[in-house]
Amino acid sequence: MRENALHQLLGAYLLGGLEPAEARAFEDHLARCADCRHELEELESLPAMLDAVPAPDAVALTAGRPAVDSSPLLVEPVATLQHNVLDELAVRRRKSRRRWSALVGAVAAACLALGFLAGPLLNQPPKPDASYSVQAGSGLQLTVGMVKKGWGTELQVDGRSLPLQGTMSLWVKGRDGVEDRACAWTATPSGRIKVTGATPVQLAGIAGVELRDESQRTVAAISVP
């Protein structure tokens, strides 16, 4: 399946509408595609907000009809709501995969219309499942937060007093001996950076991370117990 076609599966993946083989193919694509990872991160809280949308409103939106009047006190059980919406999504998925993206956007708009503060919720970075730091005698400080993902691990990198020139990179070392470059950036005049990286290595399989300079010399290293 082409990369562009895989990108169109993001909405279905988010709402659990993919077959197992399709889900595996999309997760492989996700490990390679920074755009999809960013988009998925922005929408990760959408299913939780969807749980609170009254079923008549949600189904009406998926069908392109005006939402019916409903009281916030008359919210159907979560399982029923998800069942109704996913049934509607399944029908539309068979007709056209491209309509998933529009559907996700419509539900997000519904959440906003019902008074949810979707912007702050979607823009907040996920809380790390683990965080490790190192400080060198030169004043260099490096903190790496690690967030479990279905496709691997997200790394939240926060550094101070880093080298002021060249290209820096963060490498993940797996317990099986594999190495993977999670992210790279151009050094800043302030020596301060805050970037996000990603690796297909699962959190439990990470033995450590290394900060390397342009010549691939290790500037700082963190071991993960």
For residue range 175-191, list pLDDT tens digits in order.
Answer: 999 999 999 999 998 99
Q: Which CATH architecture has domain 130-223?
A: Sandwich (2.60)
Check pLDDT > 70 for residue 29.
yes
pTM over the 0.75 mark: no
Which backbone phi and psi does 98 adopt, to 5 degrees? Answer: -65, -20
101 vs 205, more confident: 205
As annotated, the residues of the chain forming the CATH 2.60.40 domain(s) are 130-223
pLDDT value of residue 39 = 77
